[in-house]
Amino acid sequence: MPFVKEKFHIEEETIAFLYVMRTLNYTQGQAQRHIAKGRLIINGESMTHTGTKVQGDVEMVFFRPKGTGVRPTFQNNDFMVFEKPSGVLVHPNTMSTPYSMLDEVRSIAGDNANATHRIDMETSGLLLASKHKKAEHHLKSAFEQRTIKKSYLAWVDGKLTESFTSTERIKVNKDGYDETKHKVLIAEDGKASHTEFVPLEYDETLDASLVACYPHTGRLHQIRIHLFHVKHPILGDPIYGASYAASDAYLDMIQSDEERVIQHGAPRLMLHAQSLEFTYGSRFYLESKVDFVSQKSLITPKALRVFNGR
Protein backbone atom coordinates (compact mmCIF):
# COMPACT_ATOMS: atom_id res chain seq x y z
CA MET A 1 0.00 0.00 0.00
CA PRO A 2 1.53 3.36 -1.10
CA PHE A 3 0.31 5.27 1.99
CA VAL A 4 2.16 4.09 5.08
CA LYS A 5 2.15 5.07 8.75
CA GLU A 6 5.49 5.19 10.55
CA LYS A 7 6.62 6.17 14.06
CA PHE A 8 9.21 8.88 14.68
CA HIS A 9 10.87 10.27 17.81
CA ILE A 10 11.61 14.00 18.06
CA GLU A 11 14.45 14.68 20.51
CA GLU A 12 14.30 18.47 20.59
CA GLU A 13 11.13 20.56 20.51
CA THR A 14 10.59 21.62 16.89
CA ILE A 15 7.95 23.52 14.92
CA ALA A 16 5.75 20.90 13.24
CA PHE A 17 6.09 21.95 9.61
CA LEU A 18 9.88 22.28 9.94
CA TYR A 19 10.11 18.74 11.28
CA VAL A 20 8.02 17.39 8.38
CA MET A 21 10.13 19.34 5.87
CA ARG A 22 13.39 17.90 7.20
CA THR A 23 12.12 14.36 7.72
CA LEU A 24 10.28 13.86 4.44
CA ASN A 25 12.34 16.26 2.34
CA TYR A 26 9.27 18.37 1.59
CA THR A 27 8.97 22.02 0.64
CA GLN A 28 7.32 24.29 3.18
CA GLY A 29 4.05 24.23 1.23
CA GLN A 30 4.09 20.43 0.98
CA ALA A 31 4.78 20.11 4.71
CA GLN A 32 1.98 22.50 5.65
CA ARG A 33 -0.51 20.66 3.38
CA HIS A 34 0.66 17.35 4.86
CA ILE A 35 -0.17 18.55 8.38
CA ALA A 36 -3.42 20.23 7.32
CA LYS A 37 -4.62 16.86 5.97
CA GLY A 38 -4.17 15.35 9.42
CA ARG A 39 -1.17 13.19 8.55
CA LEU A 40 0.90 14.14 11.62
CA ILE A 41 -0.44 12.13 14.57
CA ILE A 42 0.30 12.72 18.26
CA ASN A 43 -1.14 10.41 20.94
CA GLY A 44 -3.44 8.84 18.37
CA GLU A 45 -4.96 12.13 17.19
CA SER A 46 -4.24 14.18 14.07
CA MET A 47 -2.53 17.50 14.70
CA THR A 48 -3.43 20.08 12.04
CA HIS A 49 -1.78 23.29 13.30
CA THR A 50 1.39 23.70 11.25
CA GLY A 51 3.09 26.11 13.61
CA THR A 52 2.66 24.06 16.77
CA LYS A 53 5.83 22.86 18.48
CA VAL A 54 6.17 19.09 18.73
CA GLN A 55 8.41 16.75 20.72
CA GLY A 56 8.59 13.08 21.65
CA ASP A 57 6.88 10.22 19.82
CA VAL A 58 4.79 11.01 16.75
CA GLU A 59 3.38 9.10 13.78
CA MET A 60 3.17 10.25 10.20
CA VAL A 61 1.15 9.00 7.25
CA PHE A 62 2.83 9.61 3.92
CA PHE A 63 2.96 8.36 0.35
CA ARG A 64 5.72 5.84 -0.29
CA PRO A 65 5.64 4.79 -3.94
CA LYS A 66 5.81 1.13 -4.87
CA GLY A 67 6.60 1.02 -8.55
CA THR A 68 6.32 -2.20 -10.51
CA GLY A 69 9.15 -1.39 -12.89
CA VAL A 70 7.09 0.28 -15.61
CA ARG A 71 9.39 2.52 -17.62
CA PRO A 72 8.46 5.71 -19.47
CA THR A 73 8.37 5.50 -23.24
CA PHE A 74 10.18 8.85 -23.33
CA GLN A 75 11.98 10.93 -20.72
CA ASN A 76 14.49 13.75 -20.34
CA ASN A 77 15.65 15.83 -17.38
CA ASP A 78 12.29 17.58 -17.05
CA PHE A 79 9.45 15.20 -17.84
CA MET A 80 8.42 11.62 -18.61
CA VAL A 81 5.73 10.04 -20.78
CA PHE A 82 4.07 6.77 -19.76
CA GLU A 83 1.63 4.41 -21.47
CA LYS A 84 -1.16 4.26 -18.89
CA PRO A 85 -3.16 1.03 -19.01
CA SER A 86 -6.94 1.09 -18.83
CA GLY A 87 -8.18 0.44 -15.29
CA VAL A 88 -5.34 2.26 -13.51
CA LEU A 89 -5.82 5.56 -11.66
CA VAL A 90 -3.41 8.45 -12.32
CA HIS A 91 -3.44 9.51 -8.64
CA PRO A 92 -4.68 7.54 -5.62
CA ASN A 93 -8.22 8.65 -4.84
CA THR A 94 -8.04 7.48 -1.22
CA MET A 95 -5.28 6.47 1.17
CA SER A 96 -6.36 2.86 0.64
CA THR A 97 -5.80 2.93 -3.14
CA PRO A 98 -3.40 0.01 -3.68
CA TYR A 99 -1.72 1.33 -6.85
CA SER A 100 -1.75 4.27 -9.25
CA MET A 101 0.51 5.69 -11.94
CA LEU A 102 1.92 8.01 -9.26
CA ASP A 103 3.72 4.96 -7.87
CA GLU A 104 5.69 4.64 -11.10
CA VAL A 105 6.22 8.40 -11.51
CA ARG A 106 7.70 8.90 -8.02
CA SER A 107 9.60 5.61 -7.97
CA ILE A 108 11.58 6.95 -10.92
CA ALA A 109 11.87 10.68 -10.19
CA GLY A 110 11.20 11.20 -6.47
CA ASP A 111 8.65 13.02 -4.33
CA ASN A 112 8.62 16.20 -6.42
CA ALA A 113 7.55 14.35 -9.57
CA ASN A 114 3.87 14.42 -10.52
CA ALA A 115 1.36 13.68 -13.26
CA THR A 116 0.45 16.93 -15.02
CA HIS A 117 -3.01 16.18 -16.39
CA ARG A 118 -6.09 14.06 -15.81
CA ILE A 119 -6.94 10.82 -17.61
CA ASP A 120 -10.01 8.80 -16.63
CA MET A 121 -9.23 5.51 -14.93
CA GLU A 122 -10.65 3.45 -17.80
CA THR A 123 -8.95 5.50 -20.54
CA SER A 124 -5.59 4.20 -21.72
CA GLY A 125 -2.72 6.01 -23.41
CA LEU A 126 -0.17 8.75 -22.95
CA LEU A 127 0.36 10.28 -19.53
CA LEU A 128 2.72 13.25 -19.20
CA ALA A 129 4.51 13.58 -15.83
CA SER A 130 6.93 16.22 -14.57
CA LYS A 131 10.19 15.38 -12.80
CA HIS A 132 10.39 18.56 -10.70
CA LYS A 133 8.21 21.45 -9.54
CA LYS A 134 9.32 23.90 -12.21
CA ALA A 135 8.38 21.45 -14.95
CA GLU A 136 5.09 20.67 -13.19
CA HIS A 137 4.12 24.34 -13.09
CA HIS A 138 5.08 24.85 -16.76
CA LEU A 139 3.21 21.80 -18.05
CA LYS A 140 0.08 22.27 -15.93
CA SER A 141 -0.08 25.89 -17.05
CA ALA A 142 0.30 24.77 -20.67
CA PHE A 143 -2.66 22.38 -20.27
CA GLU A 144 -4.74 25.15 -18.66
CA GLN A 145 -3.83 27.58 -21.44
CA ARG A 146 -4.58 24.90 -24.07
CA THR A 147 -1.18 25.12 -25.71
CA ILE A 148 -0.71 21.36 -25.42
CA LYS A 149 -2.46 19.59 -28.28
CA LYS A 150 -3.96 16.19 -27.57
CA SER A 151 -5.55 13.53 -29.71
CA TYR A 152 -7.50 10.42 -28.79
CA LEU A 153 -8.79 7.33 -30.56
CA ALA A 154 -12.18 5.84 -29.74
CA TRP A 155 -14.21 2.86 -30.87
CA VAL A 156 -17.84 4.00 -30.90
CA ASP A 157 -21.20 2.37 -31.37
CA GLY A 158 -22.60 2.58 -34.92
CA LYS A 159 -21.45 3.92 -38.27
CA LEU A 160 -19.84 7.35 -38.55
CA THR A 161 -18.89 8.48 -42.04
CA GLU A 162 -18.50 12.28 -41.84
CA SER A 163 -16.17 14.45 -39.80
CA PHE A 164 -17.94 16.81 -37.42
CA THR A 165 -17.36 19.33 -34.65
CA SER A 166 -19.16 19.50 -31.33
CA THR A 167 -19.37 22.75 -29.40
CA GLU A 168 -22.12 21.69 -27.02
CA ARG A 169 -21.70 23.27 -23.62
CA ILE A 170 -20.96 20.95 -20.70
CA LYS A 171 -22.24 21.21 -17.13
CA VAL A 172 -21.23 19.10 -14.13
CA ASN A 173 -24.26 17.21 -12.81
CA LYS A 174 -24.57 18.04 -9.10
CA ASP A 175 -27.97 16.42 -8.59
CA GLY A 176 -27.27 13.26 -6.61
CA TYR A 177 -30.93 12.23 -6.94
CA ASP A 178 -31.14 12.60 -10.71
CA GLU A 179 -32.36 9.65 -12.77
CA THR A 180 -29.05 9.54 -14.59
CA LYS A 181 -25.62 8.52 -13.39
CA HIS A 182 -23.97 10.97 -15.80
CA LYS A 183 -21.27 13.07 -14.21
CA VAL A 184 -21.67 15.79 -16.83
CA LEU A 185 -24.57 16.96 -18.98
CA ILE A 186 -25.10 18.95 -22.15
CA ALA A 187 -26.68 22.21 -20.95
CA GLU A 188 -27.03 25.77 -22.21
CA ASP A 189 -25.68 27.10 -18.92
CA GLY A 190 -22.66 24.78 -19.08
CA LYS A 191 -19.07 25.68 -19.93
CA ALA A 192 -17.92 26.23 -23.50
CA SER A 193 -16.49 23.05 -25.02
CA HIS A 194 -15.05 22.13 -28.40
CA THR A 195 -14.11 18.75 -29.89
CA GLU A 196 -13.40 17.73 -33.48
CA PHE A 197 -14.11 14.18 -34.64
CA VAL A 198 -12.76 12.39 -37.72
CA PRO A 199 -13.99 8.85 -38.58
CA LEU A 200 -11.14 6.54 -39.62
CA GLU A 201 -12.58 3.05 -40.00
CA TYR A 202 -15.87 1.15 -39.83
CA ASP A 203 -16.27 -2.50 -38.88
CA GLU A 204 -19.59 -3.69 -40.27
CA THR A 205 -19.59 -6.97 -38.34
CA LEU A 206 -19.21 -5.16 -35.03
CA ASP A 207 -21.18 -2.09 -36.14
CA ALA A 208 -18.40 0.01 -34.64
CA SER A 209 -16.44 3.01 -35.90
CA LEU A 210 -12.90 4.06 -35.07
CA VAL A 211 -12.83 7.82 -34.54
CA ALA A 212 -9.97 10.29 -34.03
CA CYS A 213 -10.90 12.88 -31.38
CA TYR A 214 -9.27 16.31 -31.04
CA PRO A 215 -10.36 18.17 -27.87
CA HIS A 216 -9.70 21.91 -27.91
CA THR A 217 -10.99 22.35 -24.37
CA GLY A 218 -10.46 20.14 -21.34
CA ARG A 219 -13.85 19.60 -19.71
CA LEU A 220 -14.57 16.57 -17.57
CA HIS A 221 -15.69 13.62 -19.78
CA GLN A 222 -15.76 15.97 -22.77
CA ILE A 223 -15.16 13.39 -25.52
CA ARG A 224 -17.48 10.87 -23.88
CA ILE A 225 -20.44 13.24 -23.53
CA HIS A 226 -20.00 14.80 -26.99
CA LEU A 227 -20.07 11.37 -28.66
CA PHE A 228 -22.99 10.23 -26.51
CA HIS A 229 -24.88 13.39 -27.47
CA VAL A 230 -24.69 12.51 -31.19
CA LYS A 231 -25.87 8.94 -30.39
CA HIS A 232 -22.50 7.27 -30.98
CA PRO A 233 -21.34 6.55 -27.42
CA ILE A 234 -17.92 5.05 -26.84
CA LEU A 235 -18.14 1.29 -26.55
CA GLY A 236 -17.43 0.02 -23.07
CA ASP A 237 -18.53 3.30 -21.48
CA PRO A 238 -20.18 2.27 -18.20
CA ILE A 239 -21.92 5.63 -17.74
CA TYR A 240 -22.82 7.33 -21.02
CA GLY A 241 -24.99 5.14 -23.25
CA ALA A 242 -25.78 2.51 -20.65
CA SER A 243 -29.04 1.99 -18.79
CA TYR A 244 -29.46 3.41 -15.29
CA ALA A 245 -29.49 -0.08 -13.80
CA ALA A 246 -26.31 -1.11 -15.64
CA SER A 247 -24.47 2.07 -14.62
CA ASP A 248 -25.65 1.66 -11.04
CA ALA A 249 -24.35 -1.92 -10.92
CA TYR A 250 -20.99 -0.79 -12.32
CA LEU A 251 -20.61 2.07 -9.85
CA ASP A 252 -21.63 -0.14 -6.92
CA MET A 253 -18.99 -2.67 -8.07
CA ILE A 254 -21.53 -5.51 -8.19
CA GLN A 255 -21.52 -5.95 -11.96
CA SER A 256 -20.04 -9.22 -13.21
CA ASP A 257 -17.51 -9.35 -16.05
CA GLU A 258 -20.16 -10.99 -18.24
CA GLU A 259 -22.72 -8.27 -17.52
CA ARG A 260 -20.11 -5.59 -18.21
CA VAL A 261 -19.43 -6.72 -21.79
CA ILE A 262 -23.12 -7.30 -22.56
CA GLN A 263 -24.48 -4.10 -21.00
CA HIS A 264 -21.69 -1.76 -22.12
CA GLY A 265 -20.25 -3.41 -25.23
CA ALA A 266 -16.67 -3.99 -24.07
CA PRO A 267 -14.76 -4.89 -20.87
CA ARG A 268 -13.21 -1.40 -20.75
CA LEU A 269 -13.85 2.11 -22.02
CA MET A 270 -12.63 2.04 -25.62
CA LEU A 271 -10.89 5.43 -25.46
CA HIS A 272 -7.14 5.90 -25.87
CA ALA A 273 -4.92 9.00 -25.45
CA GLN A 274 -3.00 8.75 -28.72
CA SER A 275 -0.72 11.80 -29.01
CA LEU A 276 0.66 14.89 -27.28
CA GLU A 277 2.23 17.93 -28.94
CA PHE A 278 3.78 20.76 -26.93
CA THR A 279 6.77 23.02 -26.43
CA TYR A 280 9.22 22.68 -23.56
CA GLY A 281 12.35 24.38 -24.80
CA SER A 282 12.06 22.31 -28.00
CA ARG A 283 8.96 21.18 -29.84
CA PHE A 284 7.79 17.67 -28.93
CA TYR A 285 5.38 15.37 -30.73
CA LEU A 286 4.83 12.11 -28.86
CA GLU A 287 2.62 9.29 -30.10
CA SER A 288 1.40 6.16 -28.34
CA LYS A 289 3.11 2.92 -29.32
CA VAL A 290 0.08 0.84 -28.31
CA ASP A 291 -1.87 -0.74 -31.18
CA PHE A 292 -5.25 0.50 -30.04
CA VAL A 293 -6.86 -0.18 -33.40
CA SER A 294 -6.47 -3.93 -32.92
CA GLN A 295 -8.20 -3.72 -29.55
CA LYS A 296 -11.49 -3.84 -31.41
CA SER A 297 -11.17 -7.56 -30.62
CA LEU A 298 -12.44 -6.62 -27.15
CA ILE A 299 -15.73 -5.30 -28.51
CA THR A 300 -18.78 -7.45 -27.87
CA PRO A 301 -20.50 -8.60 -31.10
CA LYS A 302 -23.46 -6.40 -32.00
CA ALA A 303 -25.99 -9.21 -31.55
CA LEU A 304 -24.84 -9.86 -27.98
CA ARG A 305 -24.55 -6.35 -26.58
CA VAL A 306 -27.14 -4.12 -24.98
CA PHE A 307 -26.38 -0.45 -25.52
CA ASN A 308 -28.90 2.38 -25.24
CA GLY A 309 -26.88 5.14 -26.86
CA ARG A 310 -29.11 5.23 -29.90
Q: Would you please indicate which residues are annotated as catalytic (active-site) residues? A: 120
Give the residue among 269, 277, 174 at the shortest CA–CA distance from 216.
277
3-state SS, residue 14: strand
Give the residue among 248, 123, 229 at the shortest CA–CA distance from 181.
248
Instruction: Tell me the C-alpha distance between 145 and 218, whole Å.
Output: 10
Helices 16-24 and 28-36: angle between axes, nearest 10 degrees: 110
One-letter identity of residue 91: H
3-state SS, residue 293: helix
Sign of the torsion angle spanned by Cα atoms 300, 301, 306, 310: positive
